Chains A and B, each alone.
Chain A
Amino acid sequence: MSATGKKAWGDTVFKGLTLSFAVGILVLFIAIVVVLWHASQPSIQKFGFSFLTSSAWNPVKDDFGAVIPIVGTLVSTLLAMLFAIPLSIGIALFLAELAPSWIKTPFGVAIELLAAIPSIVYGMWGLFVLSPLMADGVQPWLAEHFGFIPLFSGPPMGIGMLTAGLVLALMILPFIASVTRDVFQMVPLNLKEAAYGMGCTTWEVVRDVVIPYGLKGIVGAVFLGMGRALGETMAVTFVIGNAFHLSWSLFAPGNSIASTLANEFTEADSDVYLSSLIELGLVLFMISFIILGLAQLWLRRGAQEAGR
């Protein structure tokens, strides 16, 4: 009797211990939101809702608004998605459906290595290697041929939105590609074989069987990449140019929420300045939370439907 009692007691303690640490993650998450919310109070009280609609950023007059960093974050992310989605779906297709098996593993690992390179190395490479290339070659060419579109006007400086978007695309590409590849590989073989048996070409099998089957997973993978791009800090800080003005031109320097935080945090000398920066962080956290939450939701649904 006493042995059983001791056993049950030990198990209760052990379960309670693991449970309390698991709840610790929940507490940590809530603490992050509460602490950020609390620390942004000076700015929330001073600017209220207009913080989200004002494009001012004037440390001298203590007048701050989130529009420029938010727009910068969205534009650089959008650009990155534009480059990264088609490329990564192509890669996933190649790795899952086309490549001979002896190529699959080494190429797959190589793509995943792109994800392992630290973001600061991307940033440095972007600044020292890619930016000069953009300034001397790509941007003048774009300006000459497409200069009538306001997006491609202005002086080619190398750093700016377009370069930031390119570097971001390179960084999120492996995430989207490897998750999409896994989604493609979840498609049951007999479905594909049935389609091949009817005389479909590889592309037709992919278009009509693989992609519809794995659509939720692919959407999840894209959202995952997007969540990463939104909050990426160091790579963007190197190449985005750190300037507070809105411009139609993709060549113009700008700022994202993350790069603003990285650049200005030590310069914040007033309470309102600091809490405005923290409120920016809160906005970024909320946007990422929604996007990443959606990503997990879609990925999970996709996996459930694939019967895993």
Chain B
Amino acid sequence: MMRQRRRKLVNRMVLLASGLATLIALVMLGWILGDVALQGIGAINWDFFTELPAPPGEQGGGLGSAILGTFLMTMLAAMMAVPFGVLVGTYLSEFGRDSTVGRIVRYLSDILVSAPSIIIRVFVYIVMVKPMGHFSGWAGAVSLAIIMLPVVSRTTEEMLKLVPHELREAALALGAPYWKIMPQVIYRAAVAGIITGVMLGVARVAGETAPLLFTALNSPYWMESMNEPLGNLTVTLFNYAMSPYDDWHSLAWGAAFLITMAVLVTTIITRLVLHRRSGH
């Protein structure tokens, strides 16, 4: 009887501890999001999106140029990473499932997904910023694209694998060549999933700071071209948060709120789409 009671007691304690662990994580999530919302929402107004930063001590000002810069660099990065990533994903799913090249590329992609993003920045600094002689929006976009690439290629692969083999066989039986089947049948069947992968990649890089630090650097002015240091939200946030001025801290919280909301909304929508797809 004693043994029985001890077993039940141990069981209860473990269950309690695991529930507690979950509670701690949820409280931390609420705490961080709450702080970001409370401190950030006050800084968000029309000027925040349209104005340039004001000098410290002056009221007002916004992060218009930084928002534009982040948006442009993310879009450019997507334009580079998406075609590249989709083709890699196609190879991994259609031709290289069990080949040595396929295995190596899959392995390296998985490592690159989690590899330190600051290394990418050092790499792009050496191959782009130094030879060009100046920081630029191009360099920033390239670093973001490199970070996005493995996310897109691995999700594309997984999504293409979900397309039933019978679809390929049916099309092949009609005499269609593979290069026509891919765009007209397989990509079509997997398009929602591929877009999901792209969105996950965009969400990932939109919040990235490290790769931009010394590639795009930052700039408080409206951009004239991509070929110059480009203002962006995350580096601005970093500089403002590290500054001693209260006005700038409040703008930094505003930037944090904007980035977090954008990333969270994207993530939640993608999760919902994925969930619905796998549910069928």
Contact = CB atoms under 8 A, between A and B. Distances in A.
Are these two chains actual partners, yes or no? Answer: yes
Nearest to B206: A118
B91 A288 contact: no
Nearest to A3: B175
Contacts of B17: 90
Contacts of A258: 116, 118, 210
B21 interface: yes
Contacts of B8: 201
Interface string B15-42: 1011111101110110111011000000
Of the candidates B32, B94, B109, B207, the one having the most CB atoms from chain A within 10 angstroms of its own CB is B32
Interface in B46-96: 84, 87-88, 90-92, 94-96
A93 B18 contact: yes
Given A121-B207, A124-B256, A228 B119 contact: no
Interface of A: 7-8, 10-11, 13-15, 17-19, 21-26, 28-29, 31-32, 35-36, 39, 86-91, 93-95, 98-99, 105, 107, 109-114, 116-125, 127-129, 170, 173-174, 177, 201-204, 206, 224, 227-228, 230-234, 238, 258, 261-262, 265-266, 277-278, 281, 284-285, 288-289, 292-293, 295-296
Contacts, number: 254
Nearest to A39: B126
Given A91-B21, A124-B241, A202-B11, A118 B88 contact: no
Contacts of A91: 18, 21-22, 25
B108 to A, nearest CB: 5
A125 B36 CA distance: 8
A94 B263 contact: no
B222 interface: no
B195 interface: no
A284 B73 CA distance: 26
Contacts of B110: 292, 296
A116 B206 CA distance: 11
A18 B203 contact: no
A206 B234 CA distance: 43
Contacts of A113: 29, 264, 267-268
Contact of A25 (B109, B115, B249): B109
Nearest to A32: B123
A142 to B, nearest CB: 19
A288 B116 contact: yes
B114 A110 contact: no
A36 B32 contact: no
A285 B116 contact: yes
B10 A118 contact: no
Nearest to B125: A265
Given A118-B259, A124-B252, A228 B210 contact: no
B88 A35 contact: no
Contacts of A112: 267, 271
Contacts of B18: 90-91, 93-94, 98
A90 B22 contact: yes
A290 to B, nearest CB: 10
Given A25-B153, A121-B32, A233-B117, A110 B26 contact: yes
Contacts of B108: 25-26, 29
A269 B178 CA distance: 55
B127 A120 contact: no
B162 to A, nearest CB: 14
Contacts of A17: 87
Contacts of B146: 28
A11 B119 CA distance: 37
A18 B91 contact: yes
Given A114-B28, A117-B263, A233-B117, A238 B241 contact: yes
17 contacts: A18-B94, A24-B84, A36-B122, A87-B21, A94-B21, A107-B22, A110-B29, A113-B267, A118-B260, A124-B252, A170-B28, A201-B8, A202-B11, A203-B15, A278-B126, A284-B116, A284-B118
